[in-house]
Chain A
């Protein structure tokens, strides 16, 4: 059977807005705002106009119905954290299921089917089950949180995510007292994911990540379903991914299909390949170097040829005030 899916970057004909209409709309919006009537407009329209050059993706019901009631800018980043342009955040990605080059995810992720989508919640919980996106989000209000994203390869971005605290989702599943860790799993679908078909791949698919229970319940830990006022593009982990802003990017697992509460620390993708280079915690830490990349500084993207835009990396990616207490008394060189 031929399953035809539209590539993410090919927008449907009904979505194309001519330039003149676009400008007229902006003009109209400016006028409305000037009259003090902005509050009358649905918030979703406001959201779309908030960011520049953002392709409006599809709007499944579970997402569209929540946009009007979203808490915008619930968390903002620092003064010097300039937002990464949408185009860069969606064309420069690590998502090894689609290839190892930075532009592979953009090129290939369009083939991933994300509608419908279900997530299995199981393990040490009182209410296990298979949830669709609507059931997963429940009554939860979407929040917009602007977080720094630090990759272990020493580049970083600043991204406005839309999502819900993971703790709310976990609480609804009623974890038992045996639930010590959370294990996450990414979609396994080799026919749509060329990286999973590679015979020379080192990752033991499906990709797995994990958090300790207190990390998972931390208010900063976000289960994200959107960015830049729209749904997540496939290459950014549609339809639902994790965002743990004080850890290296690879901990923020993409396109989640399974969340399991477990007793033991789960084997996660990167330490399984190379335990000397990657630890389970993977907290951003300028004092502990990765053997291949110094972690003391980072390149904030976008940069240009002669201005690498190097900045000092902050402990816990700058979220130390909120999260340092989680690791009190732990030797962070040993538990890196």
Chain B
């Protein structure tokens, strides 16, 4: 299981290293800042969807490995989100904070993206055992913010699309399916698809 967690760690780090290498090698085009911005943002969305797919996957397969990497993937989502914001501040605005102020007042997609990242920040800082204990029942409630964050991220992306919805539609569909799987009735049904080990034996004895 340790090996599993380590390989997930490496797999999540690899995209960052690859894009950094592309930039260093001069293969990121005439606007390397924009290249990183787009890739980091898209990576954060994919990681968010992957994180949200772990619980349904666990229900379906009953493999504990999925639960083991949930916090890690959540933190990676936040990390790529921060990299996305940092590239925007450094490479697009050139640290011109007056423009950021204007953007935050006027541009809905920036406001929405910023709000989503703030939510992910709240989840990231409370992702430790101490916070779980401190917050008790409220922890679970707080961490449902991730659903709202997903909605905001998709909206953020939606407002950036210029002429073709294909890619966005793919992500939105994946997000919608993951949300549907959380409806209690569907979630319970998901758990019944693969029979519980030992459960079948008990059933046969009863008959």
For residue A156, give the distance in angstroms from its CB to the closest CB of chain B.
11
Chain A residue with minimal CB distance to B103? A294
Chain B residue with minimal CB distance to A87? B30
The docked-state distance in angstroms from the alpha carbon of A84 to that of B165 is 31
Asked if B29 contacts A305 (CB within 8 A), the reply is: no
Asked if B102 contacts A294 (CB within 8 A), the reply is: yes
Asked if A292 contacts B30 (CB within 8 A), the reply is: no
Contact of A100 among B29, B99, B164 (CB under 8 A): B164
The docked-state distance in angstroms from the alpha carbon of A302 to that of B28 is 11
Interface size class of A (residues with CB under 8 A): 20 to 34
| A201, A294, A301, A308 pick with most chain B CB within 10 angstroms | A308
The docked-state distance in angstroms from the alpha carbon of A100 to that of B162 is 8
Asked if B163 contacts A273 (CB within 8 A), the reply is: yes
Contact of A310 among B94, B109, B160 (CB under 8 A): B94
Asked if A201 contacts B160 (CB within 8 A), the reply is: no
Asked if B31 contacts A289 (CB within 8 A), the reply is: no
Asked if A303 contacts B33 (CB within 8 A), the reply is: yes
Contact of A201 among B106, B107, B163 (CB under 8 A): B163
Asked if A292 contacts B107 (CB within 8 A), the reply is: yes
Is the CB of A254 closer than 8 A to any CB of chain B?
A: no
For residue B41, give the distance in angstroms from its CB to the closest CB of chain A.
14
Asked if B109 contacts A299 (CB within 8 A), the reply is: no
For residue A310, give the distance in angstroms from its CB to the closest CB of chain B.
5
The docked-state distance in angstroms from the alpha carbon of A229 to that of B162 is 32
Contact of A302 among B31, B90, B166 (CB under 8 A): B31
Interface size class of B (residues with CB under 8 A): 20 to 34
Given contacts A200-B165, A291-B107, contact A92 B31 (CB under 8 A): yes
Residues of B within 8 A of A310 (CB): 94, 96
Is the CB of A102 closer than 8 A to any CB of chain B?
A: yes
Is the CB of A91 closer than 8 A to any CB of chain B?
A: yes
Chain A residue with minimal CB distance to B29? A92
For residue A109, give the distance in angstroms from its CB to the closest CB of chain B.
16
**Residues of chain A in range 296-316 having any CB-CB distance to chain B below 8 Å:** 297, 299, 301-308, 310
Is the CB of B92 closer than 8 A to any CB of chain A?
A: yes
Asked if A200 contacts B31 (CB within 8 A), the reply is: no
Is the CB of A198 closer than 8 A to any CB of chain B?
A: yes
**Residues of chain A in range 264-300 having any CB-CB distance to chain B below 8 Å:** 273, 289, 291-292, 294, 297, 299
Beyond the given pairs A88-B30, A301-B31, A303-B30, 7 more chain A to chain B contacts, judged by CB atoms under 8 angstroms and listed by A's residue number, are A91-B29, A92-B31, A99-B164, A103-B29, A200-B165, A289-B106, A292-B160
Show the binding face of B for A, using Cβ within 8 Å. 23, 29-34, 36, 90-94, 96, 99, 102-103, 106-109, 159-160, 162-169
